[in-house]
Structures are given as structure tokens and as C-alpha cells.
A and B are shown apart, each in its own frame.
Chain A
Amino acid sequence: AQRVTQPEKLLSVFKGAPVELKCNYSYSGSPELFWYVQYSRQRLQLLLRHISRESIKGFTADLNKGETSFHLKKPFAQEEDSAMYYCALYTGGFKTIFGAGTRLFVKA
């Protein structure tokens, strides 16, 4: 079955600490993976996608096909990173599967 799992509903870290938001997927094809973010009182927006292999706002995500993971990482968390993060998997046929989301809270 095609599935996206974000095991942590809430992740709380101190400012300046490293952060890793986990995402695991189940898909037999070649995955197209995305991270979306929703800041407080803002709409859901794309943070990054694996195919672009870029760093956005200090965040990176590496696709690990062996472990079927696409974890989002940032070496030094900032308070403004506090938000809801969603991992998403495009499976073709206009279907994108979203994980349940992880709320990141960065404490001062």
C-alpha cells in the first residue's frame, strides 16, 4: 500500500539545536517526495522537493531509497522554524499522499 508516515506528532527542540523531522514512505515506484510547511496563520506552502536537491531556510532532505525515508534536517533550529511540517509523496495519476504532519516547536 502507498503510505507516508511521520512518526512524531510533536517535536520540541531548543533554539540552536539540530532538528530532524522523520518521514518514511511505502511505494514500489520511483518516488517524488516533498516537504510542505504551514506557519501559524499562513497557508500550506512548499518547503522543498527531493528532485531539486536544494537547501531552503537551512533545511535539507535526503532521499534514502534503501530505508524508504526522506527525513528533513536542519543543523541549528530557529524560533521562526516553529510550524507544522508535512511530508508528501507523489505517486502519479494526480495523487499526492500526505503524511499526518509533525508540529515543530522551537523553544527560546
Chain B
Amino acid sequence: NAGVTQTPKFRVLKTGQSMTLLCAQDMNHEYMYWYRQDPGMGLRLIHYSVGEGTTAKGEVPDGYNVSRLKKQNFLLGLESAAPSQTSVYFCASSYEQYNEQFFGPGTRLTVL
């Protein structure tokens, strides 16, 4: 089992460019999450999903969109990247909302 995978691992964007981060999990989890981690701060929840076809806003959703067309995939989109979105992005999934979260390896995004 691969667990939670993220694509790509690294990316450099110019301000205004768009991109999509892909998260995939093979554990049949209902719940999936996107976090961002900035220096000196804990992980902050961007968006989450409680099942296929559902998404909801987290703590810091502005500038991001998400989609969960298939249960195993959770996509995070940046329509017009800004330098403030330079961060490390983590995807996670869990069986229940209060259970252990399984994390992907992270995507390091730099916006110039």
C-alpha cells in the first residue's frame, strides 16, 4: 500500500500562474484534508472533504479551490498564485474525523 501520495514534490510558480496539486490515497478513507505549513507555525487546514463529491472550507481557504470527484483523490487548485502561497502543502486522510490522520510526503511550493 502506498498510503497517501502527493504530486508534485516541488514546484516553482510565477505570480499569477495556476497549478493543481494531486493527492491520492489507497486506504479507502472517507475524510481527506489539505494543510499548509509555514515556518514557525503549525499545520493550518485549507479545505477538507467528508466524502466523494463533497468539499468544505477550513481555516485558510482563500485563494484555493478543491475537488473530490473520486473517493481516492483530492485535488487542490491555485487559480492565480501569489507569493503568500509559498508554503509546504500536506495532504492527509483519515477513516473517521476524530481518528489518526495519515499524511502525504508534502509538496514544497514557491511562488516568485
Report A's interface with B, CB cutoff 8 A.
4, 9, 32, 34, 43-46, 49, 86, 88, 90, 92, 94-101
B105: interface (CB < 8 Å): yes
Which of A44, A96, A98, A100 touches B40 (beta carbons < 8 Å)? A100
A100 in contact with B100 (CB, 8 Å): no
Does more than half of chain B's interface fall in helix, strand or loop, or is it mixed? loop
Count of chain B residues with Cβ under 8 Å from any Cβ of A?
A: 25
B42 in contact with A86 (CB, 8 Å): yes
Residue of A with least CB distance to B39: A100
Determine the chain B residues whose CB is within 8 A of the CB of A34 once the complex forms: 100
B101 in contact with A96 (CB, 8 Å): yes
Determine the chain A residues whose CB is within 8 A of the CB of B43 once the complex forms: 86, 98
A94 in contact with B42 (CB, 8 Å): no
Given A43-B104, A90-B98, A100-B41 in contact, is the A95-B90 Cβ separation under 8 Å? no
Does more than half of chain A's interface fall in helix, strand or loop, or is it mixed? strand
How many residue pairs link A and B with beta carbons under 8 A? The number is 45
Interface mask (B85-103 → A, CB under 8 Å = 1, otherwise 0): 0000010000001101111
A94 in contact with B40 (CB, 8 Å): no
B103 in contact with A96 (CB, 8 Å): no
How far apart sit A21 and B34, CA to CA, in the bound complex (Å)? 26
Interface mask (B16-58 → A, CB under 8 Å = 1, otherwise 0): 0000000000000001010100001111110010100000101
B50 in contact with A94 (CB, 8 Å): yes
A-B contact pairs, 30 of them (CB 8 A): A32-B98, A34-B100, A43-B4, A43-B105, A44-B103, A45-B102, A46-B100, A86-B42, A88-B42, A90-B97, A90-B98, A92-B98, A94-B33, A94-B48, A94-B50, A94-B56, A94-B58, A95-B45, A95-B58, A96-B45, A96-B101, A98-B35, A98-B42, A98-B43, A98-B44, A99-B42, A100-B40, A100-B41, A100-B42, A101-B42
